[in-house]
Amino acid sequence: MHRTSPLVRVVSLLAALVATTALEAQTSDESDGPAHRWAADAKAYVTAPLHAERKQWVRFASTVAAIGVAYQHDDEVRAHFVSDTATTAATHDPHDSQDAAPAAFALGGTWLAARLLHDNGGRREAGTMFEAAVFSSVAAEVLKQLAGRERPFATADRGAFGEGGSSFPSGHVTAAFAIGTVLAESGNDRQRWLRRVLGYGIGAVTAYERMKHEEHWLSDTVAGAGVGIATARFLMKRRDETNDRVFTIVPTRDGVQITYLAALRH
């Protein structure tokens, strides 16, 4: 039976709070408001393949290759996790809420800390986390409908695609890596190692738990990680392009002074 990820539901409960505080951190380039920005982001996200450069296609091919390698080991991983006791949809416990908790806490904790500390950067980070989780979860849902793969607790056939299942890709892992990647790659470089351990660790732990609870094949989690990371990086790049460029016009005695500042990253 197809289920909606509880992480999406948890994130939705935080939506109003994140969206409200994100408004306080808007730059002058975002004066059209969050609705306009989200619409622009959604359009750019959907049409991204049409504008992808060679580097993006190489990353896409690498992700597909990684999924293929994982697919070859799906049976081994399933044999390690799936219990000998037969389960059915009625008796199987998916542990959905439990497995969604780490990513939800990361998002909620980032928002709460930014709120308490009046940190505009943290508010933007929480807003990007939320947007990445939503966008990537929608993409994962589309892929689930197209793939129709059965979950490992329901079948021993790793090739059970087109059967109406909802295993590929993992929605939990997709959202966890979307949130975790924003956490890992935001902030200053002095805390980079800690952020990456926490951010990517959330995704890795979520993937492990989903396989442990017989909800997903190894290749499901690899695909989810690919979608989540790609979505987070896409949105972070768009935020950087907006927030790191300042255009000002200041009147002077002799006319006007035009200034354009852009932050350069290695």
Q: Domain ranges in the chain? A: 6-262
Tens digit of each residue's pLDDT (9 = 90 or more) over 41-64: 989 999 988 888 899 999 999 999
Assess whether pLDDT exceeds 90 at residue 13: no
Rg of the chain (C-alpha set): 20
C-alpha 84: how far from chain center: 34
Instruction: Supply the DSSP string of 41-54, one letter for each residue.
Output: HHHHHHHHHHH--H
Q: What confidence score (pLDDT) does residue 93 get?
A: 87
Tens digit of each residue's pLDDT (9 = 90 or more) over 84-102: 665 666 678 889 999 999 9
E strand spans, 85-239 = none
Q: What confidence score (pLDDT) does residue 28 get?
A: 39
Of the candidate ranges 84-98, 183-197, 221-235, the one whose mean pLDDT is the lowest: 84-98
159 CB burial (10 A radius; 0-12, 13-18, 19+): exposed
Tens digit of each residue's pLDDT (9 = 90 or more) over 157-175: 999 999 999 999 999 999 9
Average pLDDT of the chain, as a whole number: 83
Nearest CA to 25 out of 98, 94, 119, 88 is that of: 119
Long-range interactions of 38-41: CB distance < 8 A, separation 24+: 38/131, 41/131, 41/135, 41/235, 41/238
Assess whether pLDDT exceeds 50 at residue 247: no
| pTM, rounded to two decimals | 0.79
Residues β-bridged to residue 245: 262
Tens digit of each residue's pLDDT (9 = 90 or more) over 254-264: 654 555 444 44
Of the candidate ranges 13-17, 251-255, 256-260, the one whose mean pLDDT is the lowest: 13-17
131 CB burial (10 A radius; 0-12, 13-18, 19+): buried
